Amino acid sequence: MAQVTLVEAEPVPEAPVPDGPAAAAPRRPGLLPRWGALAAAAAAGVAMLLAFPTYGLWWAAPVSVALLAVAVHGRRLRAAFGLGALAGALFFTPLLSWTNLHTGAVPWLLLSGLETLYFGLVGAACAWTSPLLDKGRWARWSWVPLLAALWTAQEALRDRTPFGGFPWGRLAFSQDDSPLLRIAALGGAPLVTFGVALAGACLGYGVIRGLTAGVKWRLAAAPAAAAVVVVAGWLVPLHTPTGPGVYVAVVQGNVPRLGLDFNAQRRAVLDNHANATIELAEKVDAGQARRPDLVIWPENSSDIDPLRNRDAAAVIDRAAHAIGAPILVGAVLSSAKGVENVGLVWSPDQPAGAEIPQYTKRHPVPFAERMPLRGIARIVSKEVDRVTDMTAGTEPGVLTVGPAVVGDVICFEVAYDDLVRDTVDGGAQLLAVQTNNATFNESEARQQLAMVRLRAVEHGRDALMASTVGISAFADSRGGTKSETKFNEAAVILAELRLGTARTLATRLGVIPEFVIVVAALAGLAACAEVRRRDRRAQPNPTVGIKEDV
């Protein structure tokens, strides 16, 4: 009879296993050597930057997603976080350099550093999914949409935290000239981001599987799969407004000087916009131009409160009577409510003493129009006390301006999905973005214009951007632009826009597509945790052996 004896084997030396999430799976070698992973992560950051205005190489965005996926594949979470943060630093620091023009380097670097942390999170999350690519076919294929969902979830978090979030640099905002822009009509900016990341995940899948499984044909197939995702955007039908046309004038009055002191001569800024409107009226009277149905002035076109200052009111009133059309004025009000950044509808036939319709900006920009943690921020920058805490509005920017119901959002509000969508849900027939770029530069203005183009497609509305110094432009519901002004020059542009009433699928669904994608991302991370747990339990125990005596 065979006798079985348990024999204690010699201990096998092990690498120390770290505590925390990184210990949930056995050590995985990185796909690339350390220097290669650093190079790929750095290239990912640079490629992402090139995708955005002013470079505008939209196809570089999915390439960036693929490069980061390859860089972090098989890495421990700490290393993957660092690689993601490296990509983020090389992307956000130059992308947000316009915040450094007049406030110094510290606020710019702090904001860039904060945004970089979110790229670190997505890098770690991508590394967490690495075991899926060693499993069966369905597990491997699930990795592709999961990677896209993780990018979308990262943006959903970044758009909301902290202090209301800062959505600049979303993948969707790099696609203003891409076929994927059309996807916005189905699910808004989050679905566009998902599409971009999906194309990138296809590229990453081909490279990773080609290198790890030795299936070289996947390296060639990956670009084809990514191209299919991108080209599929052309199949999305777009909404074209079918309502009556309205003739719109946008006045870019310019300012005496750029920078934080752009409005030190507040009366000069107001006069610039009023005089440009009166000059247009003179051309109309002379038969050289068509009279507009409504006129849009930009944010901060009257930082003298016209509801409290009779001289400012008289200037605006004279311009409105000269042009014979209502003017949407960007103004700053001081009242019992506090300081408000508003859009005022100033009509030439407004009854004396009647209440003037207005929209109050709902999302004052943290650290620019309101100062969270003021005491701490004062330690960081002496410019803190130049910021006055503005009072936030509570109602969507839905204003009747002449024959049109205008969806008004002010400056950075165009980056926030819900603030724009609320105006369309409230009945807006066209979209207007009032902005002041005098404290920034042309790069920031072009990044903002890309957002306006996406919103026009997303909601099937013609749109416009009115800036004090540029860029002002019209955008149609297909994402195209016309009459773009030059930066830091006075100009008046005119165009006939169509009023829209139909609601796109994206408008009707609202936040649902983003919610579904984020839930899928969280479920995928949980599934990966279970895969890693099973992998760890499946490892043989090296401390016990079996010896059989016959």
Please tell me which residue in 115, 155, 361, 528 is annotated as part of the active site: 361
N-to-C CA span, the chain? 7
Q: What is the dihedral of CA 354, 425, 461, 252, to 10 degrees?
A: 40
Cα separation, 500 vs 245, whole angstroms: 10
DSSP 354: P
Q: Cβ contacts of residue 45 below 8 Å, gap of 6+?
A: 64, 86, 87, 88, 89, 90, 91
Q: Is the dihedral of CA 497, 445, 381, 259 positive or negative?
A: negative
Give the closest residue to 395 by CA, choosing from 354, 436, 425, 365: 425
DSSP for 360-374, written as a single string:
E-SSPPBTTTB-TTH
Residue 390 is given by DSSP the state: B
* 283 noted as active-site residue: no
126 carries an active-site annotation = no
Which residues are within 8 A (CB) of 450 and not within 5 positions of it... i.e. 6 or more apart? 52, 53, 173, 174, 176
Instruction: Establish whether 202 is a catalytic residue.
Output: no
For the record, the structure tokens of 482 come out as: 């016309």
Candidates 115, 126, 155, 299; catalytic one: 299
Report CA dihedral (96, 101, 105, 109) to the nearest 10 degrees. -10
Report H helices in 303-441: 310-323, 374-380, 417-425
- CB within 8 Å of 521: residues ≥ 6 apart: 125, 146, 149, 150, 152, 153
What's the CA angle centered on 57, arms 54 and 59, to 5 degrees? 150
| d(C-alpha 469, C-alpha 485), whole Å | 9
- Is the separation of the CB atoms in 53 and 447 below 8 Å? yes
CA-to-CA distance for 316 and 67, rounded, in angstroms? 54
CA distances 115 to 163, 231, 451, Å, are: 13, 30, 19
Which distant-in-sequence residues (6+ apart) come within 8 Å of 505 by Cβ? 185, 186, 187
Catalytic residue among 411, 413, 444, 528: 411
The answer to whether 430 touches 462, Cβ cutoff 8 Å, is yes
Given a contact cutoff of 8 angstroms between Cβ atoms, the answer to whether 132 and 146 are in contact is: yes
Active site residues: 299, 361, 411
